[in-house]
Amino acid sequence: MRGPSIVLGVTACVLSACATPAQKPFHTALMPAPLVAVERVSYVRIDPVLTEEHPIAEGALSACPIVAAERKAELVRCNAKLGQIREIEGTEKPQ
């Protein structure tokens, strides 16, 4: 006779533990959440002209010196743009 009463007792304990869910704290208009101050930093935008792609010069093997000169000219222009980007990169926007 003891076996069924122990089983019923254990079952009752287990079910009573699940009967009441944990309640969240009740917030009203009188208890606002604390404010958090966040510092926002704006950076200067890079001019889209500086990020345009450069054309790649191509040509026949007989035009190799001309193609090489055109590629070098594009690399010089590209390096100039990169220099301008380096000057303003990471600078904060005036407010």
Q: Could you tell me the two tokens for 46?
A: 């890079």
Return the pLDDT at 41. 80
Domain count, the chain: 1
Q: d(Cα 50, Cα 8) in Å, to the nearest integer?
A: 79
Does residue 24 sit in helix, strand or coil? coil
* 93 assigned to some structural domain: yes
* 22 assigned to some structural domain: no
Tens of each residue's pLDDT in the chain, 95 residues: 566 777 777 676 666 665 556 666 666 666 677 888 888 888 888 888 888 888 888 888 888 999 999 999 999 999 999 999 888 887 777 76
Q: What is the pTM of this model?
A: 0.48
* 91 assigned to some structural domain: yes
Asked whether the CA dihedral 40, 44, 45, 46 is positive or negative, the reply is negative
Return the pLDDT at 56. 85
* 25 assigned to some structural domain: no
Please give the residue range of the domain that contains residue 95: 44-95
- Beta-bridged to residue 91, according to DSSP, are none
CB 50 within 8 A of CB 81: yes
